[in-house]
Amino acid sequence: MANEGTILTAADLAGNGARGDDPDVHGKFGIFGGRYVPEALIPALDEVAAVYEKAKNDAEFLREFDHLLRTYAGRPTTLTDVPRFSERAGGARIVLKREDLTHTGAHKINNVLGQALLTKRLGKKRVIAETGAGQHGVATATAAALLGLECVIYMGAVDCERQALNVARMKLLGATVVPVTNGSQTLKDAINEAFRDWVTNVDTTHYLFGTVAGPHPFPEIVRDFARIIGVEARRQMLELTGKLPDAVCAAVGGGSNAIGVFHAFIGDQDVALHGYEAAGHGLESGEHALTLTAGSVGVLHGSRTYVLQDDEGQTIESHSISAGLDYPGVGPEHAWLKDSGRATYHGVTDDEAMAAFSLLARTEGIIPAIESSHALAGALELGRELGPAATILVNLSGRGDKDMGTAMKYFNL
C-alpha cells in the first residue's frame, strides 16, 4: 500500500511482523531485549508502544513523517561512488550511503523526526534525550524547535568538552543542555540521568531515545524510523550497480545507523552484514568499546544484551576517540544478529578510524564523522579481503564538522 508520490510506505517503515524479525510482545529478540526498568515507567513504555503501533499503520502519520523526511531532512540521500578511496581497498567498489548530507548532518534525524511526531500524538509537550557525540542531541533540539516542544538534553561532561560545537548548536536551537558529571561522564551516565528525569516527569515528557538500545519498545521504534536508510540504499544499489552489494558496513555504537542500513538486507542471504565497534586503544589495552566483540550477556539500561561488565555485573567504562561509539552496551537486535550469525561484528581502533577519516577527506573531499570512519576503516580491510570484483555499501552515518576539535588535536592541525 504505497502512498502515491511518497518515498515511504507502511512496509518501508516496518515489516509488521511479516519478516519474522520483529520482537515478541515482551520486546524479545530471542533471549535479548525485554524490559528491566522501574515499574513506574511501565505504563509510559506501554503507552509509547500503543501509540506507535497505531501510528505506523496510519496513513496520515506516514504522510507527515514522509513529508518531513523529504522536505526537512533532505531524503532520499544519495549514494556516492568513491573510486579514489576504493583504490586503497584492493580495488573493491565502495559505495557510500550519504546520511552525512541530511539536515543536522547525521542519520539521527530520521529517528528523531519520527519520535517527535509520536510525541505530539502522545500529547506531551516536553522531550528529553541523551547524547554522546551530540548528533542525537542536535537532532532532538532541532525537531523540538520545529514542533514547538520544550527540550532538555543530557550529555556527559567529557562529551560536552570533546563535542563543544554541538553543545553550542543545541543551545542555539533553544535546548537546555545538562552536563552529567557522575560515573564515566559519557553516554552511559547521560542515559542514567535521562531515565531519572523521565521517571520524575513522565506525565509531561517523552524520552526521545536516540539509539536501538533501552527497554522495549525503543529498539523496535528507533529501528523502524532508521530503516529508511537501508530501504533507499537497497533500491539505489540495484539502480546504480544492477545488483545487491556483497557486503554492507556500518559503525556500531548503540546500533541505530547499523540496524537502519542492515535491516532491509536481512532477507538477502548473499549480502554480508558487517558492524564495526570502537576498539579504542586496542582490545588488550582494556580501553575500548568492544561490546559485541568482547563483552558478555547482561542487562544494561533496561535491556538484555551484550554489555562490557566485570565478573560481578558492574559496568566497565568504555573508551573511544569517537563519543558516539563510546558506550558499554548495544542494541538487543544486534546481540541477536550476532548470535544467529546473520551479522558479523569487528573492532576498529582509534588510529585505524582516524586514518580512514583523513583518507576519505583527501581522496574524495568528504569529511566523515569519526563514528562513520570506523565503518570506512572496516570496509578498506574487507575490500582487500574480498578483492576487486566486490561491491561494498558503507553507511556514512554522519559528517565530521563536529569532530574538528578532535581532529585538530589528533593531527596537530
Ligand X SMILES: Cc1ncc(COP(=O)(O)O)c(C=O)c1O
Q: Are 173 and 142 in contact (CB under 8 A)?
A: yes
Tell whether omega for the bond before 219 is within 30 degrees of 0, i.e. cis.
no
Question: Contacting ligand X (CB under 6 A), which of 256, 315, 320, 391?
Answer: 256
C-alpha cell, 279: 576498539
Q: What residue 106 binds from ligand X, other proteins, none (CB within 5 to 8 A, per partner kind)?
A: ligand X
Tell which phi-psi region holds residue 306, choosing left (phi > 0), alpha (psi between -120 and 50) or beta.
beta
C-alpha cell, 106: 547525521
Using rule CB under 6 A, residue 257 touches ligand X:
yes
Using rule CB under 8 A, residue 315 touches other proteins:
yes
Using rule CB under 6 A, residue 255 touches ligand X:
yes
Using rule CB under 6 A, residue 135 touches ligand X:
yes
d(CA 111, CA 89): 32
Question: Contacting other proteins (CB under 8 A), which of 4, 203, 239, 284?
Answer: 203
Look-up of cell digits 502512498: 3
Interface pattern 216-245 for ligand X (x via CB under 6 A): ------------------------------
- Among the residue ranges 54-62, 71-79, 177-185, 366-374, the one whose residues contact ligand X (CB under 6 A): 366-374
Using rule CB under 8 A, residue 93 touches other proteins:
no
- Among the residue ranges 10-18, 183-191, 240-248, 275-283, the one whose residues contact other proteins (CB under 8 A): 183-191
Using rule CB under 8 A, residue 40 touches other proteins:
yes
d(CA 330, CA 375): 16
Q: What residue 312 binds from ligand X, other proteins, none (CB within 5 to 8 A, per partner kind)?
A: other proteins
Can you name the residues that pair with 248 across neighbouring β-strands?
A: 273, 393
Using rule CB under 6 A, residue 115 touches ligand X:
no
Q: What residue 132 binds from ligand X, other proteins, none (CB within 5 to 8 A, per partner kind)?
A: ligand X
Report in angstroms the alpha-carbon separations of 1 from 19, 114, 220. Answer: 17, 20, 21
Question: Contacting ligand X (CB under 6 A), which of 251, 307, 367, 394?
Answer: 251
Burial readout 176-193 (b: 16 or more C-beta within 10 A, e: otherwise): ebbbbeeebbbbbbbbeb
User: What are the residue numbers of the active site?
Assistant: 108, 130, 397
Question: Contacting ligand X (CB under 6 A), which of 15, 132, 302, 347?
Answer: 132
Nearest approach in angstroms of CB 6 to ligand X is 25
Can you name the residues that pair with 347 across neighbouring β-strands?
A: 277
Question: Contacting ligand X (CB under 6 A), which of 128, 369, 393, 407?
Answer: 369
Nearest approach in angstroms of CB 257 to ligand X is 3
DSSP secondary structure letter of residue 309: B
Using rule CB under 8 A, residue 24 touches other proteins:
no
Indicate the length of the chain as a whole number: 413
Tell whether omega for the bond before 23 is within 30 degrees of 0, i.e. cis.
no
CA angle 350, 354, 356 (to 5 degrees): 120
Taking the CA of residue 316 as centre, how many other CA atoms within 13 Å lie in the half-sphere pointing to its CB?
A: 19
Residue 96 host element (H or E): strand 93-98
Q: Which CB sits closer to other proteins, 265 or 327?
A: 327
Per CB under 8 A, residues contacting other proteins are 26, 34-44, 182-183, 188-189, 191-192, 195-196, 199-200, 202-203, 296, 298-302, 307, 309, 311-315
Residues forming the site for ligand X (CB under 6 A): 106, 132-133, 135-136, 211, 251-258, 324-325, 369, 371-372, 397-398
